[in-house]
């Protein structure tokens, strides 16, 4: 055996020099001992953990009552933590204003995470990237003179109020104060230029201010690439890491994989940067999916590209590389509502996550992730392992298979992580594996057959795995989901693909095996020896097969599920408020139940003097489920209703439950009669813009100077930070004007249209390529449209696509100041002087009226400024006209309609608004009950379906829908939206989530809005 001697030595050293958690080699932030670490793993509340975290952004789900639903789905998936960005730009919309109300609040999320039993990693920025406008930096900060993300005095003054406010909230909710926060990230993917320079004074100030307001947990960092920034020296963080997106973001070829990285180990990295390492390696963002951008083809392939096989191969490979702290980006993506996105991002931020934008579970992806998470929850020996060998020779009899071996340094428990040598291969590999155990070496399967890896497969083979009260799994060739004690019974749950051979060996004397249920189609061979019993399956049946293995020392209930059935197994921990920090995942008792069958199990309690197993969960069809729980339980309730439960062959309660249709169905709502108004009155004769802002600046603090023209026309210089912006340039015509040149600066994928008086001159389009910020276009002046000797107006409607992030500019030689790239008009050339007026969202960034929906919800269209998108506005005097009839000429129209919806209590019915799959040169915005929940660019796509959550949608009552339609040319396809509808695309399921309170303020008069 290749590593027998090394493994034996490790075991001997462990006996001679045992490691004690919290001993002198463990480190902390020198402020709290509740979060410690060493070179093996993180230690929280004296428990070693593999940090298994998922990213969630609450502000992408602006319904706080739904945050517990996401937390519960994260806990059920085996996560022990969530990571979250806070959005400086949303909570600090103008200088001197901090707003942590509504969906910007943090405490409801902290409470939901704690109640679900999840730790939290806070990521406040100030810069967060996150595919959001300016990377989360407020629009008003783009106007300061100092360089962003440095110690420039005006930038420090700008972020300090926000930074100290969120820091105080973190301190109040950190583990040392009984809360869930275990770490705070400092900055994000930070470097100032392509050379990788950083401002350590700036970083030190961020750290010092956090400490000053009471934060005592460690600071983390996510380097954009593993370059060692902030690893040591001034401003060094305690827990360093770097992001990993091994498959990138192109989903057009979902079968195309890069191979896994076999060199990126914590040992190698820290050894080359700081000598002997003393911290676990951290991946603050490991790819869980991919975001979709404008004009991106193959977007439907993202979920396939990063599906269950990707999770199995790449996530296990990361563990094989000795990485013990991983945060997966994104666990739940949500929606870029309003003008939240940066120029290259669309409305959907679904991210091909295991929990969809609608909060539906992605069956295989969520199920596979859950299987890995539950295994880690019970693999208590894994956190304190080190790599001891790898390769094919000495491990397997097939060079097409590659194995990494890790060993626990205390008890020598072994973990062999195998995969195809060519991790991208679709070939099937069969092999035998050599294992080293406490009873010696074994070549397995020993009782016949081979181990099989289907294409793109991976598996953990464990040796000497302790579980339950006093059991040991000597080895297993089957994936282990969990090993624990449920009630008084030790339980081992295994799973695997149909048609394959699996073998396990359990330690114990005088072992006997008895099939209990579901085993009729299982051909099982048993070998009993004095010190162990070996079970070998050479076929398995669909469903769950159960066996009772009895030793002189006790018994084990073995459950074996096929892969798809295993995705329907759930292991909620029983709530125990007396142990707030007892469980592996953070809170509550480690006692649990095992449930098979339902769509989702939310949580479990013991009620009625602990005699009733009270489950809460969701069903997507009629469900026959079973529950293995405490032996003293006398029944099962589901969502508060006592069931008719009976014990089955393996001692679990068997329950038949009605599916969603038993409580009523949802009739897909039909949109009512549409009303229409022309929404570009700015081009009409006599339009009064006297109340508009004069665009008369001749200088700017922006480092990106104007190309041409007397006036600076940057929208941010006048307080308009998002959405469509409208300019009106007045001039007295001489009759010699023949053309006008405009440099339109919208960011990638933006556009603009130009009118002279009421005459349409044309539109211009900015390329979708990252880093292309503007377009220079010349428009001919039609002489018959000029009013010689009189006031004429050039009207320009420009789409503000959001501010850039630094990631797309630094790689092209830029700096963080490129966030300041101007929006609107960067230059103009005209033979006659122009006097400019500008208008954006109503009230700009200081006096916007809709404080509930926030600064990014509205832009500068007349209909937005007047509040026509809000519920309660009286549109009865508008003409009857539908989007399918559209416009008669290039311009902007605004359509409103209403519908009634009645969703039975306890039913989840996610609605989506669907645009027709047609290509037209138009831009459209979707508003539901006043919230902008969709932006569609007909010429770019790719998004047609726009989900809207309950809470934004009134699930029992009246709803208002509005559409803007901006036709950029005179073609029919640009002027109509034929076939817009509301659909129920994900079906329905019963739900046990808590009730939702909507907060959709209605219309009030806005003076001088247009």
Could you write out the DSSP letters of every residue in 370-430? Answer: HHHHHHHHH-TTSTTEEEEEEESTTTBS-TTEEEEEEEETTT--EEEEEEESSTT----EE
Alpha-carbon distance of 752 to 744, in angstroms, equals: 7
Alpha-carbon distance of 25 to 269, in angstroms, equals: 20
Give the number of other CB atoms < 10 A from CB of residue 821. Answer: 25
Does residue 285 carry a catalytic annotation?
yes
Q: Which residues of 232-249 are buried (b: 16+ CB within 10 A; e: fewer)?
A: eeebbbbbbbbbbebbee
CB 113 within 8 A of CB 55: no
Catalytic residue among 115, 147, 187, 189: 189
Whole-angstrom distance between the N-terminal and C-terminal Cα of the chain?
Answer: 81
What dihedral angle (degrees, nearest 10) is formed by the CA atoms of 1009, 346, 348, 965?
A: 40
Q: Which residues of 340-368 are buried (b: 16+ CB within 10 A; e: fewer)?
A: bbbbbbbbbbbbbbbbbbbbbbbebbbbb
Cis peptide bond N-terminal to 767, omega within 30: no
Could you write out the DSSP letters of every residue in 26-84? Answer: -EE-SS-SSEEE-SS-EEETTEEE-EEEEEE-GGGS--GGGHHHHHHHHHHTT-SEEEE
Query: Which CB contacts under 8 angstroms, 24+ apart, belong to 971-974?
Result: 971/920, 971/921, 973/918, 973/919, 973/920, 973/921, 973/922, 973/938, 974/890, 974/920, 974/921, 974/922, 974/938
Alpha-carbon distance of 357 to 462, in angstroms, equals: 36
Burial of residue 653, with CB atoms counted within 10 A of its CB: 0-12 exposed, 13-18 middle, 19 or more buried: buried
- What residues contact 874, with CB distance under 8 A and at least 6 apart? none
User: Locate tokens 């005097």: which residue?
Assistant: 877
Give the number of other CB atoms < 10 A from CB of residue 494. Answer: 24
Catalytic residue among 285, 591, 858, 908: 285
- Give the largest Cα separation in the chain, rounded: 109
Cis peptide bond N-terminal to 269, omega within 30: no
> Looking at residue 796, what DSSP letter applies?
E
Question: How many CA within 13 A on the CB side of residue 806?
Answer: 24
Q: Which residues of 390-427 are buried (b: 16+ CB within 10 A; e: fewer)?
A: bbbeebbebebbbbbbbbbbbbbbbbbbbbbbbbebee
Planar angle of CA 688, 722, 350, nearest 5 degrees: 140
Structure token pair of residue 904: 């039975």
Give catalytic residue positions.
189, 285
């Amino acid at each position: 055996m290749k590593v027998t001697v090394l493994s034996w030595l490790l075991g001997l050293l462990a006996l001679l020099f045992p490691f004690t958690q919290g001993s002198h080699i463990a480190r902390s932030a020198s402020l709290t001992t509740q979060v410690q670490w060493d070179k093996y793993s993180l230690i929280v509340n004296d428990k070693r953990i593999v940090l298994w975290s998922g990213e969630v952004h609450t502000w992408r789900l602006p319904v706080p009552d739904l945050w517990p639903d996401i937390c519960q789905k994260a806990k059920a998936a085996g996560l022990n933590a969530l990571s979250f960005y806070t959005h400086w730009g949303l909570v600090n919309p103008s200088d001197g204003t901090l707003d942590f109300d509504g969906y910007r609040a943090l405490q409801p999320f902290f409470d939901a995470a704690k109640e679900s039993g999840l730790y939290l990693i806070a990521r406040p920025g100030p810069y967060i990237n996150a595919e959001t406008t300016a990377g989360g930096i407020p629009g008003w900060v783009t106007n300061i003179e100092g360089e962003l993300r440095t110690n420039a005095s005006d930038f420090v003054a700008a972020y300090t109020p926000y930074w100290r406010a969120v820091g105080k909230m973190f301190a109040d909710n950190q583990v040392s104060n009984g809360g869930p926060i275990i770490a705070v990230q400092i900055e994000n993917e930070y470097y100032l230029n392509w050379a990788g320079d950083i401002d350590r004074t700036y970083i030190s100030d961020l750290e010092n201010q956090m400490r000053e307001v009471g934060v005592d947990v460690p600071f983390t960092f996510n380097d954009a690439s593993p370059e060692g920034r902030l690893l040591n020296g001034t401003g060094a963080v305690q827990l360093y890491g770097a992001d990993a997106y091994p498959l990138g973001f192109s989903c057009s070829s979902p079968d195309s994989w890069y191979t896994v990285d076999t060199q990126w180990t914590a040992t190698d990295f820290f050894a080359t940067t700081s000598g002997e390492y003393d911290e676990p390696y951290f991946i603050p963002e490991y790819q869980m999916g991919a975001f979709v951008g404008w004009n991106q083809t193959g977007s439907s392939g993202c979920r396939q590209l990063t599906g269950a096989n990707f999770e199995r191969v790449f996530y296990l490979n990361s563990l094989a590389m000795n990485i013990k702290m991983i945060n997966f980006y994104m666990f739940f993506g949500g929606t870029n509502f309003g003008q939240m996105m940066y120029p290259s991002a669309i409305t959907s931020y679904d991210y091909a996550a295991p929990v969809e934008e609608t909060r539906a579970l992605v069956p295989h992806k969520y199920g596979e992730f859950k299987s890995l998470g539950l295994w880690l929850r019970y693999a208590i020996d894994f956190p304190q392992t080190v790599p001891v060998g790898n390769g094919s020779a000495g491990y397997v009899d097939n060079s097409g298979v590659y194995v990494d071996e890790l060993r626990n340094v205390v008890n020598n428990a072994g973990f062999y992580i195998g995969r195809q040598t060519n991790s991208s291969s679709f070939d099937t590999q069969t092999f035998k594996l050599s294992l080293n155990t406490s009873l010696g070496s074994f070549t397995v399967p020993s009782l016949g057959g081979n181990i099989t890896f289907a294409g793109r497969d991976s598996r953990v083979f464990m040796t000497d795995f302790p579980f339950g009260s006093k059991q040991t799994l000597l080895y297993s060739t089957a994936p282990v989901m969990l090993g624990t004690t449920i009630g008084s019974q030790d339980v081992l749950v295994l799973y695997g693909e149909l048609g394959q051979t699996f073998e396990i060996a359990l330690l114990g004397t005088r072992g006997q095996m008895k099939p209990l249920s579901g085993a009729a189609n299982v051909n099982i061979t048993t070998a009993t020896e004095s010190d162990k019993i070996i079970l070998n399956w050479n076929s398995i049946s669909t469903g769950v097969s159960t066996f009772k293995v009895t030793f002189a020392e006790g018994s084990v209930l073995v459950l074996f599920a096929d892969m798809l059935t295993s995705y329907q197994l759930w292991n909620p921990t029983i709530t125990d408020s007396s142990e707030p920090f007892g469980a592996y995942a953070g809170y509550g008792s480690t006692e649990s139940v095992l449930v098979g069958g339902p769509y989702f199990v939310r949580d479990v309690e013991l009620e009625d003097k602990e005699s009733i197993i009270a489950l809460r969960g969701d069903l997507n069809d009629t469900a026959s489920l079973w529950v293995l729980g405490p032996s003293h339980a006398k029944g099962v309730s589901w969502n508060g209703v006592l069931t008719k439960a009976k014990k089955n062959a393996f001692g679990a309660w068997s329950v038949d439950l009605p599916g969603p249709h038993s409580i009523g169905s949802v009739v897909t709502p039909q949109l009512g009669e549409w009303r229409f108004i022309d929404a570009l009155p700015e081009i009409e004769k006599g339009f009064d813009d006297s109340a508009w802002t004069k665009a008369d600046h001749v200088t700017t603090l922006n480092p990106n100077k104007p190309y041409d023209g007397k006036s600076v026309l940057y929208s941010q210089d006048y307080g308009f930070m998002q959405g469509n912006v409208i300019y009106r340039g007045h001039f007295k015509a001489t009759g010699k004007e023949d053309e006008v040149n405009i440099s339109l600066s919208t960011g990638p994928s933006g556009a603009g249209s130009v009118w002279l008086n009421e005459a349409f001159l044309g539109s211009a389009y900015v390329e979708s390529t990252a880093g292309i910020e503007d377009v220079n276009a010349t428009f001919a002046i039609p002489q018959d449209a000029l009013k010689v000797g009189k006031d004429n107006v050039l009207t320009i409607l420009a789409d503000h696509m959001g501010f850039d992030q630094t990631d797309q500019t630094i790689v092209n030689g830029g700096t963080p100041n490129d966030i300041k790239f101007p929006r609107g008009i960067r230059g103009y050339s005209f033979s006659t002087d122009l006097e400019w007026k500008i208008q954006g969202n109503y009230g700009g960034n200081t006096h916007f009226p809709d404080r509930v929906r926030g600064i990014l919800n509205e832009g500068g269209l007349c209909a937005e400024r007047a509040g026509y998108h809000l519920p309660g506005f009286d549109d009865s005097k508008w003409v009857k006209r539908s989007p399918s009839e559209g416009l008669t000429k290039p311009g902007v129209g605004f359509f409103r309609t209403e519908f009634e919806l009645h969703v039975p209590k306890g039913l989840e019915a996610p609605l989506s608004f669907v645009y027709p799959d047609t290509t037209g040169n138009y831009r459209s915005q979707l508003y539901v009950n006043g919230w902008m929940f969709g932006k569609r660019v007909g010429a770019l796509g790719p998004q047609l379906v726009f989900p809207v959550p309950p809470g934004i949608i009134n699930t029992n009552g009246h709803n208002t829908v509005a559409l803007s339609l901006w036709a950029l040319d005179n073609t029919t396809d640009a002027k109509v939206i034929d076939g817009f509808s509301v659909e129920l695309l994900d079906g329905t399921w019963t739900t046990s989530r808590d009730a939702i309170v909507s907060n959709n303020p209605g219309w009030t008069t806005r003076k001088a809005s247009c």
